[in-house]
Chain A
Amino acid sequence: MASTWQNVLSNVKRERLLSISNIVIMSVTFMLLGVLVYVVALSQTALRYLERQAQVTVFFEDTFSEQDILNMRNNLMKDLRVLDVKYVSKADAFKLFTEINKDEPILLESISEDILPASLEIKTVEVADLKALADEISSVEGVEEVRFFENVVAKFIFWSNLIYIVGTVLVVLFLLISYSVVMVTLRTTINSKGIELEIMKLVGASDTYVKRPLIFMGVLFGFVSAVVAGSFSVILGFVMSRMPVFSSGISLFFLHQISLTPVVFSFVLFSVLLFSGILLGYLGSYTAVRRYLKY
């Protein structure tokens, strides 16, 4: 094993330029893959953030007592679709109104605390549940009005799904492209050694003797490239962790409920790139060298 690594390293040294260009090509490929993963994850994070801002606001008639509203709030909190329910009392509503209209003294003089209705602001886990919830609540006695921006939410759901699907397709597509790039790169290197491999076979080299250094080389190139690309992703993670906009974390693709801090996310990405790099290095060199092992 040790002598195989020595052999690989001396080959890499001997063909320094070819080795460096291979590693550069593979690093750039993995880096682009990492950036694309970031873009999709960040767009998902942004969408999740916007999704959480969407809400149903329920205004109540004056006959509906504060206790009734709080009971309704408690019942809603038990609903699995509901993420959060905030009670805005008549006093809170007046305070808010006063603050918003502090430059309009005439308007403020004509409004008293009794005029503004109490309300509940309901946020759901999935934005798609807002409509159903709004329909259910509007039929409750004592509810004066249910305000819910249906068109905005519908557009939001559409774009959210589109970005998610396009992003996922792009990541999968780029994974395939990365695989092809790694395969072609390793194949070019191995084919350049074609005569050497044939001679080795003719002087009695076993398959393992021919195959092992090349597979080790593929794994080494994959490893080094992935470390370069992964380090870039970790640096990006540290930079993002200083930005307040990412303080609530980055969403994981398929697991909407899980968010990771940018640094943790970057280390997860680093591990994924490292695993992919080693695997692609192995598969690329193995398939390329196979043609020289046929008798």
Chain B
Amino acid sequence: MPQIEFKEVTKEYEPGFKALDDVSFSVASGEYLFIVGASGAGKSTVVRLLVREEQPSAGEIWFDDENILMFEGTQISDLRRSIGVVFQDFKLLESKNVFENVAIALEVVNASDFEIRNIVPNVLSMVSLSDKMFKYPRQLSGGEKQKLSIARALAHEPDVLVADEPTGMIDPDSADEILEILDKINSLGTTIIMATHNAEVVDKMKKRVIRLDRGQIVSDKKGGKYRG
């Protein structure tokens, strides 16, 4: 049984412009998947649909045997706790330090202070940010910001980690570090879905690759490469 399933999903932002056009694919639990394509191919739309930031114009999206399009209020909050998201622009809170940026993911699920004090240092150590715990985002490099974003996504131990262009705004060395971290997380059983147009990253990892072009899937290969 797939963990995630897109069934004939279409997303039309404005009449005549389909960001996704009749897209169907499924992802098994623990899988590592790249979604690749040029800018505007529909990669970010897949991510936004998966965490219910957007609703599709047609089709169904299933997660753990439930149609997420039927979700309301609390169910959507629960879904977002099961799917951690890493954004290209990090989406960090500038007024909070590294510890607090991770803690917020736990505070929103009413975790106790004791839990927060235990979990936050653990996830920060997973992404090698233990020594930056009390720094503010403005004091971090691009790579460190992305690591912090990953740490926050991992705070409530999600089943799936979705990363939207996580290496898009960082240098190649930092990108390698991010890939290593994601690989490590995947080896612990978390499903990873990464949307990217970084060919080097995709080719290096040799994982399943779904290629999008103008909103349609043009290839879906295991152990694939960016160019197919």
Interface positions of A (Cβ within 8 A of B): 14, 195-196, 198-207, 209, 295
B205 at interface, CB cutoff 8 A: no
CB interface residues, B 102-156, toward A, < 8 Å: 104-105, 107-110, 152-153, 155-156
Chain B: how many interface residues by the 8 Å CB criterion? 28
Q: Pick 27 A–B contacts, CB within 8 A, sort by A.
A: A195-B91, A196-B95, A199-B91, A199-B92, A199-B93, A199-B104, A201-B77, A202-B53, A202-B85, A203-B85, A203-B104, A203-B105, A204-B77, A204-B105, A204-B108, A204-B109, A205-B108, A206-B73, A206-B74, A206-B108, A207-B73, A207-B77, A209-B107, A209-B110, A295-B52, A295-B72, A295-B73
B81 at interface, CB cutoff 8 A: yes
What's the Cα separation between A206 and B105 when bound, in Å? 11
Chain A residues with Cβ below 8 Å from B74 are 206-207
Chain A residues with Cβ below 8 Å from B72 are 295
A202–B91 touching, CB < 8 Å:
yes
Least CB distance, A203 to chain B, in whole angstroms: 4
What's the Cα separation between A205 and B108 when bound, in Å? 5
What's the Cα separation between A165 and B81 when bound, in Å? 58
A205–B77 touching, CB < 8 Å:
yes
Chain B residues with Cβ below 8 Å from A200 are 104, 108
Interface positions of B (Cβ within 8 A of A): 51-53, 72-74, 76-81, 84-85, 91-93, 95, 104-105, 107-110, 152-153, 155-156
Closest to B83 in A: A204
What's the Cα separation between A266 and B80 when bound, in Å? 52
Closest to B92 in A: A199
Cβ-neighbour of A206 out of B77, B91, B92, B155 (below 8 A) = B77
What's the Cα separation between A295 and B92 when bound, in Å? 21
Choose among A14, A196, A199 the residue with the greatest number of B CB atoms under 10 Å from its CB: A199
What's the Cα separation between A195 and B137 when bound, in Å? 15
Cβ-neighbour of A295 out of B76, B93, B153, B156 (below 8 A) = B76
B104–A201 touching, CB < 8 Å:
no
Closest to B95 in A: A14
Chain B residues with Cβ below 8 Å from A198 are 91
Chain B residues with Cβ below 8 Å from A207 are 73-74, 77
B78–A204 touching, CB < 8 Å:
yes
Least CB distance, B115 to chain A, in whole angstroms: 14
What's the Cα separation between A205 and B51 when bound, in Å? 13
Least CB distance, A126 to chain B, in whole angstroms: 58
Chain B residues with Cβ below 8 Å from A203 are 80-81, 84-85, 104-105, 108, 152-153, 155
Least CB distance, A17 to chain B, in whole angstroms: 13
Least CB distance, B45 to chain A, in whole angstroms: 16
Closest to A206 in B: B77
A196–B93 touching, CB < 8 Å:
yes
Least CB distance, B164 to chain A, in whole angstroms: 11
Chain B residues with Cβ below 8 Å from A196 are 93, 95
Beyond the given pairs A195-B93, A207-B73, A209-B108, 11 more chain A to chain B contacts, judged by CB atoms under 8 angstroms and listed by A's residue number, are A198-B91, A199-B91, A201-B77, A203-B153, A203-B155, A204-B78, A204-B79, A204-B108, A204-B156, A295-B52, A295-B72
